[in-house]
Chain A
């Protein structure tokens, strides 16, 4: 997964880096399967691998010629960004390894029914309000995306 992530951000051909991103996402879905969150893995596969990757491939094909090579950032900028990221990795990893996690041994299997009933419960600890807010957000994002992508034509029509 790390190799594919590096390839996704360093490859100079757009389409290939999108495909490497697809491999990273499928690897994440594999982790979800391994820890028995099957619903989450299915969501990951359908939303990311099915939806987002297809959208990205469409946009790459609309925007670029396939063989177009991207220009790279200046070497100085790359070095500075690399050093910043290495420092960040060092800080976070040292924090993680000095912290003593209280790991609970378990083999619980979470079914989709558990997730559904907890998510739609309106008692304490239920998640029905954020659920509805997210549904409104998705609707607004869809309408907004259509308006933006169609922008000019709609404006012209209303002017006529």
Chain B
């Protein structure tokens, strides 16, 4: 654990980052910006897993494994989403949500 920093402060930080991500997801109209917000949300949850593992149950490693799996899934999701976005841009020349009407070609 970090000297002089309580678990409450770090959980507050991750909560704020999580809801910043939610806010960005709700307000942005661009697919790539929404992807950035999703990354923020995932990162906040990863930090939560690791912090709770370290502060409350330092003898086990489950939180670390869960965060590694979350990182792997996030990487796969980003790669797929970006390929979809690039394909979409080729077909309709836009990445705004309101222009996205067909997802099947």
Contact = CB atoms under 8 A, between A and B. Distances in A.
Contacts of B24: 8-10
A47 B75 contact: yes
A9 B36 contact: yes
Nearest to A88: B19
Nearest to A149: B83
A66 interface: no
- State the majority secondary structure of interface residues on A: helix
Interface string A1-28: 1100110111000100110010011001
Given A52-B74, A134-B73, A148-B80, A24 B43 contact: yes
30 contacts: A2-B13, A2-B17, A9-B24, A10-B24, A14-B30, A14-B32, A18-B36, A35-B54, A36-B54, A39-B64, A47-B75, A48-B39, A48-B74, A52-B39, A59-B82, A59-B86, A64-B95, A73-B29, A85-B20, A92-B15, A93-B12, A96-B12, A97-B8, A102-B56, A104-B55, A110-B61, A118-B65, A125-B60, A148-B80, A151-B87
Interface of A: 1-2, 5-6, 8-10, 14, 17-18, 21, 24-25, 28, 31-32, 34-37, 39-40, 43-44, 47-48, 51-52, 55-56, 58-60, 62-64, 70-73, 77-78, 81-82, 84-86, 88-89, 92-93, 96-97, 101-108, 110, 114-115, 118-119, 125, 127, 130, 134, 137-138, 141-142, 144-146, 148-149, 151-152
- Which 8 pairs, one residue from A and one from B, show the smallest C-beta to C-beta distance? A9-B24, A141-B76, A81-B26, A149-B83, A145-B83, A106-B58, A85-B19, A85-B23
Interface of B: 1-2, 6-8, 10-13, 15-17, 19-24, 26-30, 32-33, 35-37, 39-40, 43, 46-47, 50-51, 54-61, 64-65, 67-69, 71-80, 82-87, 89-90, 95-96, 105
